[in-house]
Amino acid sequence: MMSVPYLLSRHLLCPLHERVLGRRTFARLRQIEREQWRSPVEVRLLQMRRLRSLLRHAVQHVPFYASRYRPASSVGRDGEPERLNLRALPTLSKQDIRAHADELIWPESPGRLRPYSTGGSSGDPLHFFIDRPRQASDAAARILTHRWFGVDAGRRELFLWGCPIELTRTDRLRAWRDGLFNHRLLSAFDLSRERMREYAEVFRRFRPRCLFGYPSTLSRWAEHLMTHEAAMPTGDLRAVFVTGEVCDPVQRRTLERCFRVPVADGYGSREAGFIAHQCPAGSMHVIASEVFVEVMDGDRPAREGEFGEIVVTHLHALGMPFIRYRTGDFGRLLPGRCPCGRGWPRMDAVQGRRTDGIHLPDGRFMHGLAVIYVLRETPGVEQFQVRQTSDFALEVRVVTSDGAASDVLGRIESGLRRVVGDQVPVRVRRTPTIERAASGKHRPVLSDVESGGARPGQSSHRAPRPAVAVGADAAFEEVIA
């Protein structure tokens, strides 16, 4: 198994690769390394400055924003927009992107715009473009957050991710390039016992500095390792990076017990970028040098600490600006500062939960977090799944800890009743385990109710399934698509 010396990869191959592609990733990295330590006030000012120039750029050069924003802007002496109030501007929906993809592009964009898409395997696909500066920004954010845990670019990284069995020529090229970066990809589509044993052997020989994947598949592998393999030498391992779905406390503990290193959660999407990542102190920090995050409750901004839809502006995407993009994910911004000293805001995020929610008989739709938080905050609950049957009833299955209070089920039931009201029957029962699919995301909330009563835009009940990725680089691009 090929493995390139770290220094060669870090200081020659990685920077060379980025330069050949016209991405100033390492310059960006040096800048955000410094900016993360600025005070919250300085961070805010920096964001405002970047937002202002982004908005100015969008109105001047991008037809979609020009026609949409001009009425909201005042015009200066040079005939150019002077003042734009971000909060007064309309948000950007997935439907807007589908309907106006061509007008969302900066026609004179220097360098090539790369086409991307998400959600091909389920729901409606979204097609969009990403330019080099935006790629560099997302890649720099990824390297930075890995470095928080002592994992530099060029260190050996083992991905447990979706990948096809048959490799095409491009895939082989990618695999070869992944080799230069010390990335190694294992398929999360096949987690048979035989395969998981092979992966253990790969782990021993490759000695990765970090692991990367969905918490459900990584923890499944970890369970296998602890049950069927002799003690695993963790060797050089420094961290396990999880992404793409809610990492529940049991999965986190399983990973910590098996690998004996910190587990850190990342949040982002292919279209919106690398949005937030947990630091060693456990806070999920917004990558505030690169993205501006708002939380909306319908059309008004949510208060600090209040849940709502996560709306993202990518500060470096000039080729196809994403301004006030509605992610469909739910979360909240948290008050206060993190003890780690970074000035970047902290948030909670739950991905792709917009369609994983509960329907009420009166036609209202409630996002999954409403019920997830009741369960999360009940002491003694280790794992859970809520399924809404077609008659609106909630079937709740929970795995409880040994020390759970005797009335834990009753507490969950009354907590849920407070949220969903009397119209919805709630049944809670204990279960020894919650089964997980071999691949794909764990869904804490599922509903069998037809989406007739859902809000516009909720066309699909299915959670976004991971599209097929073909290499470690694709895995990153897909980070949570």
Q: Is 281 among the residues that bind Zn ion (CB under 5 A)?
A: yes
DSSP 8-state code for residue 108: T
Which CB atom, from 174 or from 238, has the smaller least distance to Zn ion?
238
Task: Count Cβ atoms below 10 Å from residue 466 Cβ, excluding itself.
Answer: 23
Give the Cα separation of 85 and 98 in Å (integer). 25
Q: CB 338 → Zn ion: shortest distance, Å?
A: 3
For Zn ion, the binding residue among 279, 295, 315, 408 (CB under 5 A) is: 279
Q: CB 376 → Zn ion: shortest distance, Å?
A: 21
Give the Cα separation of 415 and 445 in Å (integer). 16
Cβ neighbours of residue 93 closer than 8 Å, sequence gap 6 or more: 326, 457
Which CB atom, from 195 or from 252, has the smaller least distance to Zn ion?
252
Cβ–Cβ under 8 Å, residues 373 and 332 = no
Q: Is 283 among the residues that bind Zn ion (CB under 5 A)?
A: yes
What are the tokens at 466?
């991971």
Which CB atom, from 175 or from 340, has the smaller least distance to Zn ion?
340
Q: CB 38 → Zn ion: shortest distance, Å?
A: 14
Residues of this chain, 58-87, that bind Zn ion according to CB under 5 A:
none
Alpha-carbon distances, residue 64 vs 99, 130, 470 (angstroms): 11, 16, 33
Q: CB 102 → Zn ion: shortest distance, Å?
A: 41
Residues of this chain, 325-344, that bind Zn ion according to CB under 5 A:
338, 340, 342
Alpha-carbon distances, residue 23 vs 113, 147, 148 (angstroms): 12, 19, 22
Q: Is 276 among the residues that bind Zn ion (CB under 5 A)?
A: no
Q: Is 288 among the residues that bind Zn ion (CB under 5 A)?
A: no
Q: Is 366 among the residues that bind Zn ion (CB under 5 A)?
A: no
**Bridge partner list, 350:** 330
Q: CB 276 → Zn ion: shortest distance, Å?
A: 11
Which CB atom, from 280 or from 379, has the smaller least distance to Zn ion?
280
Which CB atom, from 92 or from 347, has the smaller least distance to Zn ion?
347
Q: For Zn ion, which stretch binds (CB under 5 A), given 255-263, 281-289, 377-385, 471-479?
A: 281-289
Give the Cα separation of 410 and 427 in Å (integer). 10
- For tokens 């035989």, name the residue: 194
Cβ neighbours of residue 192 closer than 8 Å, sequence gap 6 or more: 438
Which CB atom, from 286 or from 394, has the smaller least distance to Zn ion?
286
What are the tokens at 446?
């599922």
Which CB atom, from 258 or from 338, has the smaller least distance to Zn ion?
338
Q: CB 36 → Zn ion: shortest distance, Å?
A: 9
Give the Cα separation of 234 and 158 in Å (integer). 13
Q: Is 247 among the residues that bind Zn ion (CB under 5 A)?
A: no
Give the Cα separation of 227 and 183 in Å (integer). 27
Q: CB 244 → Zn ion: shortest distance, Å?
A: 21
Give the total of residues touching Zn ion (CB under 5 A). Answer: 6
Write out the residues near Zn ion by the rule CB under 5 A.
Answer: 279, 281, 283, 338, 340, 342
